[in-house]
Amino acid sequence: MSPFPLSLSTIFGHWGAYVVYLIIGFGFGYVLEIAGFGNSKKLAAQFYFKDLTVLKVMFSAIIVAMSLIFTASALGLLDYNLIWVNPTYLWPGILGGLIMGFGFIIGGFCPGTSMVAAATAKIDGIFFVLGVFFGIFLFGETVENYSVFWTSSYLGRFTLQDWLGLPTGVVVLIVIFMALFMFWGGEKLEVIFGGKNPASEPKWRYAAAGALVLVGVFALVMGQPTAEDRWARLAPEKNAVLANREVQIHPGELLEITSDTTLKVMMLDVRSEADYNLFHILDSRNIPLADLPNIVADLHFEPANTVFVTMSNDEEAATEAWKYLVAEAVPNVYILEGGINNWIATFGDDDLTKRFNAGAGDDQLCYIFDSALGERYSAAEPDAEEFELEYVPKVKLEIKRAPTSGGCG
């Protein structure tokens, strides 16, 4: 068994994990302070091209983290799907970036560096932090007045590789070379506008740049794992789960959890549109198997109490959908036992007639429908109180979500 993913709570205990968080936070603030990022004059100097330290440090952090993330992903040590990537709201994001940029220029701080300045009792840092808190309060009190704009131009988990349509390794190398070019240009600007002596720059930076390029080339050559690659690593464990019928839930359990107000149930009907239109369970979504890759990123944004249930006419296509979602690290995924055929057999009525000698296990509908009424059959919305069903409950909610927020250093 792989030791990954590592859990600080498992290793150090609940309070021990908080001690680690405290140490990391203190270390981050300390590094910012000794780097001079608690000084608003140093921070503001970048906008006048006199001191580009902030640009160099922040972009160094970006490309180092990016390189390590995608290298670890290529080696199978990290599941990129489990890393929180802020959803993109294009125009609100652009406006927010402009507002923050103006605030940075005028005040000389970003939120993170202002905290460092305030912690060291710098008056301008304290006032900046107070302004941040006031801005947060003001935003919270007024956002409902422009909520339509605030939630507009939603693009989901939209990355550079999605935008450019290029392999991840190629994008990694492009970003590394772009950053190195900006570092070179920044040094030239510091000489011109800041009178800085280029000989004072450390020589080891060339070796560091070369190492980053090598890491980027490695990520490009290795490539990122596909869903098939991830499933191949999980198959020994997960095939046993399937064989033991641990994730195939009885129709009665699905009906029960849909009425549980503590859960959000998302039913993914992976059949063809024709079969879905003939009959489907109320509130299920028709996502044919081939379309799953188009929505899997959005599934990661669902609340932590979401239970996903895949369903097909029998179990064949639903099981393939389950394998794909599990490989893509979507949590709490189950399969409707026996599929739609079993659902109708459990909750069906006289309007639905079973086909003569209908084959079982071929993932075909076993019922005759006079009309394509979809969810307007009574079996699509059964009354739980009318049925007394015995089954073994199998749904166990696993809350495994990455942090749902981020910030500026």
pLDDT digits 0-9 by tens, 246-300: 999 999 999 999 999 999 999 999 999 999 999 999 999 999 999 999 999 889 8
Q: How many residues does the structure list for the chain?
A: 409
Asked if residue 1 has pLDDT above 50, the reply is no
Q: Helix, strand or coil for residue 306?
A: strand
> Which regions of the chain carry the CATH code 3.40.250.10?
234-386
Task: Tell me the mean pLDDT in the region 133-156.
Answer: 93
* Inter-residue contact 253 to 334 (CB < 8 Å): no
Q: At what angle do helices 53-74 and 168-194 cross, to 10 degrees?
A: 170
Of 284 and 385, which is predicted with more confidence? 284
Who contacts 117 (Cβ-Cβ below 8 Å, separation ≥6)? 38, 39, 40, 109, 124, 125, 126, 128
**Low-confidence winner among 168-172, 240-244, 295-299 (lowest mean pLDDT):** 295-299
- 2 — pLDDT class (breaks 50, 70, 90): very low
| Percent of the chain topping pLDDT 90 | 67
**Mean pLDDT score across all residues of the chain:** 89
Residue 361 is predicted with a pLDDT of: 56
Angle CA 275–352–309, to nearest 5: 50
Q: What angle do CA 82, 32, 18 make, to 5 degrees?
A: 50
Please give the distance of CA 85 from its chain centroid, rounded to a whole number.
5
pTM of the model: 0.82
pLDDT at 199: 85
What stretches of 35-122 show up as alpha helix (H) in DSSP?
A: 40-44, 53-74, 90-107, 111-119
CATH superfamily for 234-386 is: Rhodanese-like domain (3.40.250.10)
Give all strands (DSSP E) within 160-263, no chain letters.
248-249
